[in-house]
């Protein structure tokens, strides 16, 4: 039976409505202004600290006024990440359906750790996880834990791996702990992402304990190096970390060759495919990911290639029993009926961050997901071609996926060009180091980037590069 809410609830609803209305207006204004504003923020951190700083006031403020004021004052310090010309790091934009679904997640306020209470959001996450496994060619029965990003996913997967390889060696980490455990061998590539080392550190595995396999000029693990590293690994608890998508070049480890080599020794294979795993969703680029299905665990992000709002990554593990063994909690007040989010992630209370993933995938469909990945790749090729026509600029690697890295002949000029691009504001990209030289790197990760965005970016870079080159000569 529907009851008329008491008066104070009506007042509360008014305040909510006005606050949400203000947020909607401010959000739309921000998004509509992205094309015209400088991509890199004009306000420094100190500017923003001064803007918002001072002691906490004694009295409160009306929510609508606060939201309008907050948005207006934050604007100079906001980065144009959801726009079409942000190419820094590896950062996706936000699909409309994912953004709107994310608003609902906040409004619904569902604490989505358990399947017994928050049935809608847990179901949506479970379905989103199954769709992702299907799209990427991973086992349908794998566990999918939605976490904040690939860093957390690498840690979740590697902690599950550590537990599993020790258990197979007769050591129960949950009871006996890590002290006194047989050492776990970890084999990684020379071009692994830094989050692998951090994840291992969280597992109690230090840098000196890692075996590093050399890579080729594009950053791909060398199979002969893996063979050498694996010598004598049989029977020893061992984890091999492979990579799909090197953060600078976008190169993929030759997984189809590497996984069978590792599996000969019965070791655990983890693949960090934060943005690269999504190549599997495209029939045209799928070949880059051949063989990924043979691994034991996979890391990927939704907030990069899939373009959901921050933050969202997935920890995918072939055998859910391995995830449960690490993360399922005992305790009186926890009721387990099936695979709950808190069985496969380190969190108890948690945001239903998989719901925007469901929305993104449903809004795209299988074909739309493939088209998105293809477009990011096409944008990378268009940028590569455009930069190739700019005198003095060299693209320093094969553009196989979404990453384009380039430099000028002179190191100082390259650094100065990077700073000039950010100051110019047409586009934003970030610096890297490759082969001992500074480089500039563009990641094509946003659905919002058009061919015109690429052309405007190339024109701006050409103009600024010419200034650098003529300054140097």
Ligand X SMILES: *Cc1c(COP(=O)(O)O)cnc(C)c1O
**Between 219 and 438, CB nearer to ligand X:** 219
In whole angstroms, give the CA distance from residue 52 to residue 260.
Answer: 55
In the complex, minimum distance from the CB of residue 236 to ligand X, in angstroms, rounded to a whole number = 26
Question: Longest C-alpha distance within the chain, in Å?
Answer: 81
**Between 246 and 340, CB nearer to ligand X:** 246
* Residues within the interface to ligand X (CB under 6 A): 90, 149-151, 193, 195, 245, 247, 272, 274-275, 301, 313
Here the tokens at position 317 are 């593990």
Here the tokens at position 38 are 């400088």
In the complex, minimum distance from the CB of residue 439 to ligand X, in angstroms, rounded to a whole number = 16
In the complex, minimum distance from the CB of residue 153 to ligand X, in angstroms, rounded to a whole number = 7
In the complex, minimum distance from the CB of residue 138 to ligand X, in angstroms, rounded to a whole number = 17
**Between 91 and 390, CB nearer to ligand X:** 91
**Between 193 and 441, CB nearer to ligand X:** 193
Residue number, nearest CB to ligand X: 149
**Between 308 and 461, CB nearer to ligand X:** 308
In the complex, minimum distance from the CB of residue 63 to ligand X, in angstroms, rounded to a whole number = 31
Give the list of residues 6+ apart from residue 131 with CB closer than 8 angstroms, or none.
358, 361
Residue 243 β-bridge partners: 272
In the complex, minimum distance from the CB of residue 91 to ligand X, in angstroms, rounded to a whole number = 8
How far, CA to CA in Å, does 129 sit from each of 114, 139, 147, 306, 313?
A: 16, 11, 12, 13, 11
C-beta contacts of 177-184 below 8 A and 24+ residues apart: 178/204, 182/236, 182/237, 183/209, 183/237, 184/237, 184/238, 184/239
**Between 82 and 149, CB nearer to ligand X:** 149
In the complex, minimum distance from the CB of residue 193 to ligand X, in angstroms, rounded to a whole number = 3
**Between 216 and 311, CB nearer to ligand X:** 311
In the complex, minimum distance from the CB of residue 253 to ligand X, in angstroms, rounded to a whole number = 11
In the complex, minimum distance from the CB of residue 348 to ligand X, in angstroms, rounded to a whole number = 21
**Between 237 and 309, CB nearer to ligand X:** 309
**Between 225 and 276, CB nearer to ligand X:** 276
């Amino acid at each position: 039976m529907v009851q008329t809410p008491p008066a104070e609830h009506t007042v509360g609803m008014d305040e909510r409505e006005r606050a949400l209305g203000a947020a909607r207006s401010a959000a739309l204004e921000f998004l509509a202004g992205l094309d015209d504003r400088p991509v890199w923020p004009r306000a420094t951190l100190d500017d923003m600290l001064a803007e918002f700083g001072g002691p906490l006031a004694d009295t409160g403020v009306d929510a609508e006024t606060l939201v309008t004021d907050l948005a207006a004052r934050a604007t100079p310090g906001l980065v144009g990440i959801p726009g079409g010309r942000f190419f820094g790091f590896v950062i996706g934009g936000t699909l409309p359906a994912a953004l709107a679904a994310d608003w609902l997640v906040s409004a619904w306020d569902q604490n989505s750790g358990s399947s017994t209470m928050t049935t809608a959001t847990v179901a949506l996450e479970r379905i989103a996880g199954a769709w992702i496994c299907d799209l990427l060619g991973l086992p349908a029965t794998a566990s999918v834990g939605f976490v904040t990003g690939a860093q957390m996913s690498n840690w979740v997967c590697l902690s599950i791996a550590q537990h599993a390889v020790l258990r197979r060696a007769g050591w129960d980490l949950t009871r006996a702990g890590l002290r006194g455990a047989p050492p776990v061998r970890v084999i990684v590539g020379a071009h692994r992402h830094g989050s692998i080392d951090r994840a291992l550190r969280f597992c109690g595995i230090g840098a000196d304990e890692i075996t590093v396999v050399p890579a080729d000029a594009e950053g791909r693990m060398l199979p002969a190096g893996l063979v050498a590293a694996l010598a004598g690994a049989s029977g020893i608890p061992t984890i091999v970390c492979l990579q799909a998508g090197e953060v600078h070049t976008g190169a993929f480890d030759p997984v189809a060759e590497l996984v069978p080599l590792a599996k000969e020794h019965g070791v655990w294979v983890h693949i960090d495919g934060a943005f690269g795993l999504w190549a599997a969703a495209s029939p045209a680029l799928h070949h880059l990911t051949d063989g990924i299905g043979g691994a034991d665990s996979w890391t990927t992000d939704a907030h990069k290639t899939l373009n959901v709002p921050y933050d969202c990554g997935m920890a995918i593990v072939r055998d859910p029993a391995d995830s449960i063994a690490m993360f399922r909690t005992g305790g009186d007040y926890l009721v387990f009926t099936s695979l709950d989010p808190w069985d496969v992630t380190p969190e108890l209370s948690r945001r239903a961050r998989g719901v925007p993933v469901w929305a993104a995938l449903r809004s795209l469909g299988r074909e739309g997901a493939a088209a998105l990945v293809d477009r990011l790749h096409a944008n990378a090729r268009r940028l590569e071609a455009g930069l190739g026509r700019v005198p003095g600029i060299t693209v320093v690697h094969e553009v196989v996926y979404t990453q384009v890295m380039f430099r000028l002949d002179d190191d100082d000029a390259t650094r100065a060009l990077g700073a000039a691009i950010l100051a110019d504001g047409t586009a934003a990209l970030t610096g890297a180091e490759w082969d001992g030289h500074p480089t500039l790197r563009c990641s094509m990760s946003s659905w919002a980037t058009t061919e015109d965005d690429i052309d405007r970016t190339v024109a701006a870079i050409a103009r600024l590069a010419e200034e650098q080159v003529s300054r140097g000569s």
